[in-house]
Structure 1
């Protein structure tokens, strides 16, 4: 059962978190281009798609810690330091995504949408800040991934 839970945990992490990290990283430069060229329908459509990918896959990504807890419980490692650190970093990544990345993407999308006739309230600085928060989100996930592979103190020889 542990191998099954671990396999599902890893697959869901790849399928759900991977697209969020890539789409979130691609969003700021795409948004900057859409703001610079308000009439470019293709760039606007790309920005919308990237934002949608982030929202949808962020919701699906909730399964990652759920299967992670089930796997850790079966393995008897819930109290291990590396896992506790991973849980804290995962929670922090979720907060960064939910409170800093997704709302800023939505705000920028509203600004791009308004560019057709109304004043644009989005500045290049807003996209730069979004890129920074996205980088923090990605760095947190990279750190969690490294902890999951290295597992300090593990007796498995990995």
Structure 2
């Protein structure tokens, strides 16, 4: 059962968080530079929809992560607690900053807003990168990693 939970957790992270990271990173570019056919704003709307939809699917990542941690008996380990805090920070950044900023920028391009959004998205991606490293390295692990 632990292997199944871990597999679903990893797959959910790849399939839910990956598209958010890519779509959110691409979004500011399409709000700053509309192309000749006017597809920039249309592309931005699609990227925003991707971010919103995958945010809902992304809830599976911590749910299965906590279930896996409970099965492994590591819920009190420092590396997992740090990962949970960083995951919560990334989720809050996505829901409270990135998605609302995208929605605002869909109303009309503003250079400062797009730059702030790009920075926020970079921080979001960095938080996830740290979580991935913590999940692989796991301080105190007996796997030899």
TM tier relative to shorter chain: over 0.9
Number of residues paired by the alignment? 145
Deviation (angstroms), 1:30: 1.0
RMSD (Å), alpha carbons = 1.1
Give the ranges of 4+ consecutive aligned residues of structure 1 lying more than 6 Å apart after TM superposition.
none
Task: Find the counterpart in structure 2 of residue 134 from structure 1.
Answer: 121
**2:50 maps to 1:63:** no
Larger radius of gyration: 1
**2:101 maps to 1:104:** yes
Deviation (angstroms), 1:40: 3.5
Q: TM-score, normalised by structure 1?
A: 0.88
Question: Structure 1 stretch 43-52 or stretch 82-91: which is displaced more?
Answer: 43-52
Deviation (angstroms), 1:157: 1.9
Task: Find the counterpart in structure 1 of residue 9 from structure 2.
Answer: 9
Task: Find the counterpart in structure 1 of residue 142 from structure 2.
Answer: 155
Task: Find the counterpart in structure 2 of residue 18 from structure 1.
Answer: 18
**2:62 maps to 1:92:** no
Deviations 1:8-48 (A, max 9, x none): 000000000000000000001111113xx5x7432222111
Task: Find the counterpart in structure 1 of residue 110 from structure 2.
Answer: 123
Looking at structure 1, the residues matched to 125 and 141 of structure 2 have their Cα atoms a distance apart, in angstroms, of 25
Looking at structure 1, the residues matched to 21 and 72 of structure 2 have their Cα atoms a distance apart, in angstroms, of 28
Q: TM-score, normalised by structure 2?
A: 0.96
